[in-house]
Structure 1
Amino acid sequence: MQHIYHLLLLLLMLACALLSLLQLCPTSWASSHPFPIDGRVLELDESNFDSAISSFDYILVDFYAPWCGHCKRLAPQLDAAAPLLAKLDKPIVIAKVDADKFRRFASRFEIDGFPTLKIFIHGVPIEYVGPRKADLLVQFLKKFVAPDVSILESDVAVNSFVENAGTDFPIYIGFGMNESIISEIAIKYKKKAWFSIAKEFSDDMMIAYDFDKVPALISFHPKYNERSIFYGPFEDNFLEDFVKQNLLPLSIPINYDTLKLLNDDDRKFVLTIVEDETDEKSLKLIKLLRAAASANRDLVFGYFGVKQWEDFADTFEVNKKTKLPKMIVWDRNEEYVLVVGSESLDEEDQGSQISRFLEGYREGRTVQKTISGPSFIGFLNSLIGIRTVYIIVFLVGVFMLIQHITKQDDDDNDNDNHQRGKHRVEDDASGSVAQSESRQAYQPGDKED
């Protein structure tokens, strides 16, 4: 009987263990999970969020607020992107959470502004900083589910890879290279570029990509029509330096999105401010900036037009009286420098003027400036979450209130001390009068009967 009891107990333990495995592995053991992949945006809350995150390898979550105008404009873009992402070989699901209604829950993920997008990869959240238009968003997210390094076995495969990669990220193709040489770098920079190895290719590919020997690593930006070739050496830091220096175009147009791309780049930033970045004069100048950037890879070159971003121009003391184009070197914080004698560019021979500017900067003929306050604070506010601004204002208000209460208490204490001092003076005066009267009524020579 005791043996039967132990056998039943063992069977019960095995059953419990099996049920636990079914719950821990819903996609592989259980028949299905409660979240369909039908191309619709999932509505999540604190009751089903963890279950959804564990059910999908890739899920993009929009933390929004119903009253937020930016959230309302983003919603149809996510609705349009969701069915396209659901059709991928490794589908990406889009979900949303009302972070205003479930504030305490959203605080787990440090949500301080709306909308905030995070992509959860195998349950690990990563801040999404890519484009938010439906087609660009799909192109960006496809990188997360693509191989770290794509292996291309023919010219057709090379052309197909380039076409599918799109135009928004730099593309690296290694011809005649071993995959192991670039695999670690590809993993490190996967969110910023496409990486591939062409194992089989014809002479036509060598002509098309303009290289004459192998191994060779080709880098190009389809959007900016820029290309670089690296023949080695492929050891130490040379390869990674090449990859890092080519993640950005030679001269990058500055806006809210491209500024974020500079966060991980520790190079100084040569910034050229023009009147209108789209006019013919500016386009000619941009070509000269690209040539300068190609010869000065230790610096990042960028430009923007006052017409396109007037508020940002104000931070560098650019106004209607400023002679443009103006060149500065910015540390992307609160300091920038002007080069003495090269504060602005004339229309003639701008290539030589750019060279003199760079020469003056490297020789230290500079004047340090601080970014102007009000406009820069407004710019910072546009980059950080509005809830963070509210918290700062609230804390300042609390601090001022405490100061006011403390001051009022001090004033009250001063008044009390003044009144007590006044009473003591009056009491002392009364006592002195009474003592004086007593002395007049009784003299030492008098005697009582």
Structure 2
Amino acid sequence: MRSARNIALGLLAAVAVVSAADAPSDVVQLKKDTFDAFIKENSLVLAEFFAPWCGHCKALAPEYEEAATTLKEKDIKLVKVDCTEEQDLCQTYGVEGYPTLKIFRGPDNITPYSGQRKSAAITSYMIKQSLPAVSELNAETLEEFKTADKVVLVAYTDASDKASNEVYSAIAEKLRDNYLFGATNDAALAEAEGVTAPAIVLYKSFDEGKAVFSDKFDEEAIVSFTKTASTPLVGEVGPETYSDYMSAGIPLAYIFAETPEERKELGDALKPLAEKYRGKINFATIDAKAFGAHAGNLNLPTDKFPSFAIQETVKNQKFPFDIEKEITVETIGSFVEDFSAGKIEPGVKSEPIPETQEGPVTVVVGKSYEDIVLDDTKDVLIEFYAPWCGHCKALAPKYEELAALYGDEYKDKVVIAKVDATANDVPDEIRGFPTIKLYPAGAKSEPVTYSGSRTVEDLIKFVKENGKYKAEVVEKAAEEETPIAPAATETASSEAAKETEHDEL
């Protein structure tokens, strides 16, 4: 479980750090003339490319230091490079933002670090990188391996069962960044665990402690089992887990509460429901004091807790529970049952549908999204914007010009539209503003995201190449302007942090 979603969790407040000059450090700072030799001398290195002024780098610093100290005894080195001093070195490794973390297994084997940026997560991730995809276990090493991480998997197989061993090895190669994988052919160990080969036992430091997969070894079935069994019955939504829940592919039930005691009480009360819907709906508490603003994204009040809502993460639909009702296993049980049966309509946050469309750009709101964007007879280019976004404001006149060009010849075939994604629910994954997508006629389930320069000429080309009607118009002659770079987007978390005093999802 990894990766990121549309309105992501804002970072927690940066903590004060002790500079390397004031305290010993287990993080090695490298320069251009020392980097290559160090990488060649050490088999596994995690390198951070940073800038001293970078806020995210400052927040990472104490976590990185702690991880370096923990990993020191395992001979896994953590290094850092100051890109304000070593510009050529950072450019060599394609550093475009800070901090950038890369894993080096020698100078020619380089992969991006894709784990979380907390000490425990860095440590866990790098230990996984240091081990083979599957660790061979025996009676002496099994017990220690079981508790080597929050979640580990051990396959109990027969050495002659080539098919099962190959399936397991293939899964381990794909998921090695997420989990530790071990295996043993010792029948006595399998018997001691109460399983018959072939079987997989997932050991975990929470809930019931372990789960067993005893069906025929099938990659899809084992991956599904692993994702379900490794997710806590009632977890916690926070900076380290949000993207995991969003990428799980199943709905997420939020339990908002302001105190740890209340979150525990409600979480324990709803555990029977979490067990009943395990693998179908994830349940998690969320700190309403720190992240109460996210309640608004789920169409709940942001000042009244506790509260409950379900988010259909794939379609980004929100199902808020009546704020006036008490949260009990009975009331929530009935709500979740109705949700599962499709008896509840999603709540839709929407501005009023415009009585008339003024200007060439069609204004879309939550309640008109399906009628306009998903109109299967038209190619629809839509901009997802935020009112505070500077890049969106810079794009506006060009977008108006673009829309005007399609106004006559293609008015019944091509729609140029925009939606304020902060004031309206949209079923799309939006990671930054502006985001531009084309929904071709006849292929609404396969939208194409625009990533080129935001010039009228390039947008025309994009519509022609990806739309059903291959519509082509000619840009009017205008004064030459500097295009906005395709990478110039403003994320919700970064800009919203300037205008609010709370952290948001």
* Matched residue, 2:491: none
1:357 alignment partner, SS class: helix
**Which residue identity is paired with 1:99?**
C
Cα distance in 2 between the residues matched to 1:282 and 1:228: 23
- After superposition, the Cα gap between the structure-2 partners of 1:323 and 1:130, relative to the gap in structure 1 and judged at 3 Å, is closer
Cα distance in 1 between the residues matched to 2:232 and 2:345: 26
* Matched residue, 1:360: 339
- After superposition, the Cα gap between the structure-2 partners of 1:277 and 1:253, relative to the gap in structure 1 and judged at 3 Å, is farther
Alpha-carbon displacement from aligned partner over 1:396-435 (angstroms, at most 9, x marks no partner): 559889x9xxxxxx9xxxxxxxxxxxxxxxxxxxxxxxxx
- After superposition, the Cα gap between the structure-2 partners of 1:365 and 1:84, relative to the gap in structure 1 and judged at 3 Å, is closer
Cα distance in 1 between the residues matched to 2:126 and 2:82: 22
The answer to whether the 8 A contact 1:250-1:294 is kept is no
Cα distance in 2 between the residues matched to 1:102 and 1:400: 40
1:92 paired with 2:71, answer: no
* Matched residue, 2:309: 327
Report the CA distance between 1:236 and its aligned residue: 5.6
2:141 alignment partner, SS class: helix
* Matched residue, 2:28: 42
The answer to whether the 8 A contact 1:220-1:227 is kept is yes
Report the CA distance between 1:184 and its aligned residue: 0.7
1:315 paired with 2:297, answer: yes
Tell me which of 218, 221, 235 is aligned to 1:252: 235
Matched-pair identity in %: 19
The answer to whether the 8 A contact 1:276-1:282 is kept is no
The answer to whether the 8 A contact 2:167-2:219 is kept is no
**1:12-411 correspondence to structure 2 within 5 Å:** 40-46=26-32, 49=35, 52-82=38-68, 84-88=70-74, 91-102=75-86, 106=90, 111=95, 113-122=97-106, 123-133=109-119, 137-154=122-139, 156-163=140-147, 165-167=148-150, 170-176=151-157, 179-200=165-186, 202=188, 211=194, 213-235=196-218, 237-262=220-245, 264-265=247-248, 267-276=249-258, 278-280=260-262, 282-286=264-268, 288-289=270-271, 291-293=273-275, 295-319=277-301, 322=304, 324-331=306-313, 335-338=316-319, 342-344=321-323, 346-347=325-326, 349-351=328-330, 353-370=332-349, 393=390
The answer to whether the 8 A contact 1:288-1:351 is kept is no
1:256 alignment partner, SS class: coil
Alpha-carbon displacement from aligned partner over 1:315-355 (angstroms, at most 9, x marks no partner): 3343356463312223278x32226xx53585475156325
Greater gyration radius: 1
2:242 alignment partner, SS class: helix
**Which residue identity is paired with 1:142?**
I
- After superposition, the Cα gap between the structure-2 partners of 1:367 and 1:107, relative to the gap in structure 1 and judged at 3 Å, is farther
Cα distance in 1 between the residues matched to 2:335 and 2:280: 17
Cα distance in 1 between the residues matched to 2:334 and 2:200: 29
1:366 alignment partner, SS class: coil
- After superposition, the Cα gap between the structure-2 partners of 1:127 and 1:198, relative to the gap in structure 1 and judged at 3 Å, is same
The answer to whether the 8 A contact 2:292-2:303 is kept is no
Alpha-carbon displacement from aligned partner over 1:160-192 (angstroms, at most 9, x marks no partner): 2123x133xx11122345543411111111111
Cα distance in 1 between the residues matched to 2:67 and 2:105: 18
Alpha-carbon displacement from aligned partner over 1:231-273 (angstroms, at most 9, x marks no partner): 10223632232123334223321111112324653x1322223
Cα distance in 2 between the residues matched to 1:78 and 1:47: 23
Alpha-carbon displacement from aligned partner over 1:351-402 (angstroms, at most 9, x marks no partner): 5632542433432522242599xxxxxxxxxxxxxxxx9xx8478559889x
More helix by share: 1
C-alpha RMSD of the superposition: 4.0
Bigger CA drift: 78-87 or 249-258? 78-87
**Which residue identity is paired with 2:98?**
F
**Which residue identity is paired with 1:129?**
G
Cα distance in 1 between the residues matched to 2:304 and 2:396: 41
The answer to whether the 8 A contact 1:269-1:302 is kept is no
Cα distance in 2 between the residues matched to 1:353 and 1:399: 44
**Which residue identity is paired with 1:78?**
Y
Alpha-carbon displacement from aligned partner over 1:76-135 (angstroms, at most 9, x marks no partner): 4434443543442xx3222212234455754565645433322234432213423422x5
Report the CA distance between 1:275 and its aligned residue: 1.8
Cα distance in 2 between the residues matched to 1:274 and 1:73: 26
1:367 alignment partner, SS class: coil
**Which residue identity is paired with 2:241?**
T
The answer to whether the 8 A contact 2:49-2:101 is kept is yes
**Which residue identity is paired with 2:322?**
E
- After superposition, the Cα gap between the structure-2 partners of 1:81 and 1:331, relative to the gap in structure 1 and judged at 3 Å, is closer
Equivalent pairs counted in the alignment come to: 337
Cα distance in 1 between the residues matched to 2:269 and 2:202: 19
Q: After the TM superposition, list the runs of 4 or more consecutive aligned residues in structure 1 that deviate by more than 6 angstroms.
A: 398-401
1:119 alignment partner, SS class: strand
The answer to whether the 8 A contact 2:228-2:279 is kept is yes
Cα distance in 1 between the residues matched to 2:174 and 2:129: 12
The answer to whether the 8 A contact 1:64-1:97 is kept is yes
Give the gaps of 5 or more residues in structure 1. Answer: 1-37, 373-388, 404-409, 411-449
